[in-house]
Chains A and B, each alone.
Chain A
Amino acid sequence: MDRVGGICKDKMAPHERVGALMMGQTPDRVPFNPFAMGFSSLNCGYTIESFYNDPQKSLNAQLWTAEQYGYEPVLLLGYAAYGGWEFGGEIKMPTSEWEGAPSVARHPVETEEDVEKLELPDVKTAGIIPISMEFSKLCDEMGLPILPGTSGDAITVASNITDVSLFCRWLMKKPELAHRLLRLATDHILEAYQYWVDTFGAQKIMAGLYVTVAANQILSPKQFEEFVLPYQYELHEKILGMGVQAGFMHICGEQNLNLPLIQQLPLGSPQQPVILSFGHEVDLEKAAEMFPDNIIAGNVEPQIIQNGTPEQVYEVTRIAIEKGKKAPGGFFLMPGCELPPMAPGYNIHTMMKAVNDFGFYD
């Protein structure tokens, strides 16, 4: 094996390593993906904006950055602010020096009456979908797995359609409005998945499932049970039921109180593995214990990757690897969430060094 990105002990190529992990076998070492979105674009001399609106540049940036550091690429053109633009509002692409990702500039739902009038958008033209579909076609041409750019997170889509604060008030005072938005969000996500499945065939698709606004920084486990669980259950059941190859679920932020509820979701099988990715707020040993049949991913704190010294980054990465390696279902090293776009590149190299030093399975 040629020397790649500073790692010389590798015995498998990135796709072989991920392949082994997904098949329940032990790879040569822990696979690593730094969740590099805006970071990859800046790294290749592009703007952050181009990550989200130029499929070719987005793909180049993701592949080239993976090659440079020697990590396993997981290709995605999507965003967490999904829903606002797609349902008829406006999006603001990241253009200023301080912006890291798109944000909703105008929400399609601002009043109770807007909820009544809201309809499902045309799935082929809504918001980022045409751009993301183009990106998926580029991935497909290269024989790479396809992660649809639509959201897989009903509550976050619903709270991007309106504003999170307003949505939270409706949870309390007008639960029927919240449920109507959640219903529309769920139906839209399912339609989008059907569109991807019809275009590429289910077997090429890796489903992206997320729970973001459901974090306990915002919602209680009781609210999770009423407003997240039923819709997320339906999404998991139906999307996995379409026969997709595998799934990637990102459990964002502080979710410790929600974990027993997340356990109730359909989370794949050995034939249809689902990777569960955790934030730094959830201990990886606890995650591995609660989800022994899943591949566990995570959870280096993004803030440390941006602001920490290389010594600190090396240390937190070592801890994550040593905890994660013991997960019975397998382990994929990642940050706890998106890599901060302005993180110093040397810190990614440092994470790679920690993989080299601690990530090999004997």
Chain B
Amino acid sequence: MATDARKKEILKGLYDAVVDFDEDKVVELSNAVLAEDVDAYEAIMDGLAAGMEHVGDLYANQEYFVPEVLMCSDALYAGLDILRPHLSGKEADVKGQVVIGTVEGDVHDIGKNLVKMMFDVAGFEVHDLGRDVKLEKFVEEQMKTDSEIVALSALMTTSMLAMPKVIEMIKARNPDAMIMVGGAPISQEVADNYGADGYAPNAANAVQEAIQMISRLREMGKA
């Protein structure tokens, strides 16, 4: 069992290694987490995820750009792959399920992949449909998996027009499914007009928004 000081050192090390996109270091420290009996959940949340949150800020402040962010994301996944199988009990429970994809007609998926990653980190079960996803596919996948959330991404003014359509299609089949939209041309106002249940301007906020959406569902006794 690691001492408090050692645990802190490992968590800080994971945080830094994600920020510095040092994949080898992440692997080394994740193995140390297991060997030294540090809590895997804490290592994910306070190490890896906290690091990735800082990466999000660095991107927003134009200190990091997409190449750096992708490298950080690779480092983060290397750690998740090692640590996730060791989550125990309540922590291993999924926080919720989310179907995610970039809508039909749109191949932009860099932003969508970052949102997906944040859901992964937060312990959601993510069903990623990829990009240029036929609208009907979102409906089918939501029904099949009974996911609480469907997250739609669009980066173009043409493809964003598919959003109200797919929202209508999903709600027609399952009025309780919660739909969240995002992507550069989307704003809170557009999301409201489209009848979406949630919106977030970036990947970090997407998960908080989703958690709030799920608690609203639970309050209504529907999840």
Q: Are B67 and A98 in contact (CB under 8 A)?
A: no
Q: Are B156 and A100 in contact (CB under 8 A)?
A: yes
A165 interface residue per 8 A CB criterion: yes
Which of B65, B103, B184 is within 8 Å of A218, CB to CB? Answer: B65
Given A98-B103, A98-B104, A104-B107, do A341 and B65 touch, yes or no (CB 8 Å)? no
Q: Are B157 and A168 in contact (CB under 8 A)?
A: no
Nearest to A164 among chain B residues (CB) is: B110
- Complex Cα distance, B159 from A5, in Å, reads 30
Interface size on A, residues (CB 8 A): 31
5 more contacts with CB within 8 A, not counting A97-B104, A340-B156, are A94-B105, A98-B161, A169-B71, A172-B68, A303-B157
Q: Are A98 and B105 in contact (CB under 8 A)?
A: yes
Q: Which residues of A contact B162 (CB under 8 A)?
A: 97-98
Q: Which residues of A contact B68 (CB under 8 A)?
A: 172, 220
Q: Which residues of A contact B185 (CB under 8 A)?
A: 303
Interface size on B, residues (CB 8 A): 28
Interface mask (A78-122 → B, CB under 8 Å = 1, otherwise 0): 000000000000000010111110011000000000000000000
Q: Are A307 and B190 in contact (CB under 8 A)?
A: yes
Q: Are A342 and B158 in contact (CB under 8 A)?
A: yes
Interface residues of A (CB under 8 A from B): 38, 94, 96-100, 103-104, 164-165, 168-169, 171-173, 216-220, 223, 257, 302-303, 306-307, 340-343
- Complex Cα distance, B117 from A324, in Å, reads 42
Q: Which residues of A contact B157 (CB under 8 A)?
A: 100, 302-303, 306-307, 340, 342-343
B74 interface residue per 8 A CB criterion: yes
Q: Which residues of B contact A94 (CB under 8 A)?
A: 105
Nearest to B166 among chain A residues (CB) is: A98
Q: Are A168 and B66 in contact (CB under 8 A)?
A: yes
B92 interface residue per 8 A CB criterion: no
B:151-177 near A, CB below 8 Å? 156-159, 161-162
